[in-house]
Amino acid sequence: MDIMVFAGLKEKIGGTHVTLDIKNEPTVKELKETVYRQYPALEGDVFQVACNESFVKDTHILSKTDEVALIPPVSGG
């Protein structure tokens, strides 16, 4: 599963996407756990998950065709 990352997360990972080794249709909670397991450098970093450009809760189920992004705390304006 291919996930977009931004800002500080992108710099820590060293790329604009992460490819997660994860089962089909994971929940957002499972996705977060997998991110922290595969990218230990992100320990302590918080982020929300966006699915198809909307914020989603931990219980939301993601599908392969969704556009998924990790959204660190925003600082626009």
Per CB under 8 A, residues contacting other proteins are 4, 6-8, 10-11, 48, 50, 53-57, 69, 71-77
Q: How far is the CB of 61 from other proteins (least distance, A)?
A: 15
The DSSP bridge partners found for residue 4 are 17, 69
CB-wise, 21 or 43, nearer to other proteins?
Answer: 43
What does the block give as tokens for 75?
Answer: 């600082």
As measured in angstroms, the least distance from the Cβ of 48 to other proteins is 6
Q: How far is the CB of 77 from other proteins (least distance, A)?
A: 5
- b/e code 51-76 from CB counts within 10 Å (16+ = b): beeeebeeebebeeebebbbbbeeee
Rounded Cα distance, 26 and 6, in Å: 21
Query: Whose Cβ is closer to other proteins: residue 21's or residue 53's?
Result: 53
